[in-house]
Structure 1
Amino acid sequence: MTDGAITVTHLVDRERFRAEVEEDGSPVEVGFIDYTSDSGYADGDRLALTHTVIFDRFGGRGYAGQLVRQVLDQIRADGNKVIPVCSYVTSYLEKHPEYADLVVSSS
C-alpha cells in the first residue's frame, strides 16, 4: 500500500467491501461499504450499496471517495450493476458520470 492510498478487499460472505491502509507496517481497517446482492440478471448481479462507513479517526482524508471508486471499478470489472441506496454513493455517482452505465433503478 502506498501512503494515503487504501486497499479494498471484497468479503463476499459478509457482503462487504473493506478498506484498509498500512499503519506502522500493518494493515488497519479504515471503513467499509455494505451491500446486498441480487443475482441472475442478464446484465450480471445487482449490488445495492447500502451503507458507507469511514471510522471517525480516519475522516477527512478522502478515503470514502477512494473506497467508492474502487468498489465501482470492481463491480464494473465483474460485469455487475449498482443500485445506489447509500446517500454517499448516490452523491458520488452524481459527481462522476463515468459510472452512470453501472446504475440501475431500485424499482
Structure 2
Amino acid sequence: MATEIIHNEDASRYEIHVDGHLAGYVLYRTRPDALALVHTTVLPEFEGRGLGSTLARGVLDTIRAHKGLIVPLCPFIAAFIKRHPDYTDLIVPRYHEEQAASAGDGA
C-alpha cells in the first residue's frame, strides 16, 4: 500500500492518496498567523488501516518543514497531538495557552 500526502491548495486541504486513490483529507483555513486545521476525513472504504494517523503525521511534518504553525480545531488532530506531544511546538503559542487555561475551568 503506497501512500502519498498532497497539498491541494485549491481545495484548502491536505490529502492522503493510497495507490493513487484519494483516501482522506484534512481541511484547513488560512489565518494570518497559522493554518487552522478544521476537519479530518478518511473515506469509508479506507477506514481501519491507520490512515488517519498517517495523514495527521504527514500534514504536521509538512507544516513543520515549511516552518508553519497551526491551530488544531479538528478534534482528531488535537487528539493526535495530545498522543504525540512532539508536535505541540507547531501550535500557535496564544492558542496553546488559551487551551491550557480553559482546561482548568470547571474541573
Q: TM-score, normalised by structure 1?
A: 0.83
Secondary structure, aligned partner of 1:90 = helix
- Among candidates 48, 54, 63, match of residue 60 of structure 1: 48
Pick the structure with more strand per residue.
1
Point out 4+ residue stretches in structure 1 off by more than 6 angstroms: none
Q: Identity rate of aligned residues, in percent?
A: 34
The range that moved more, 9-18 or 58-67, is 9-18
Amino acid in structure 1 at the alignment position of 2:14: F
1:15–1:35 CA contact under 8 A, matched in 2: yes
Equivalent residue pairs, number: 95
Specify the alignment match of 1:71 in structure 2: 59
Equivalent in 38, 51, 76 of residue 50 of structure 1: 38
2:31 is aligned, of 34, 38, 44, to 38
Please, what is the CA RMSD of the aligned residues? 1.3
1:13 Cα deviation after fit: 2.1
Normalised by the length of structure 2, the TM-score is 0.83
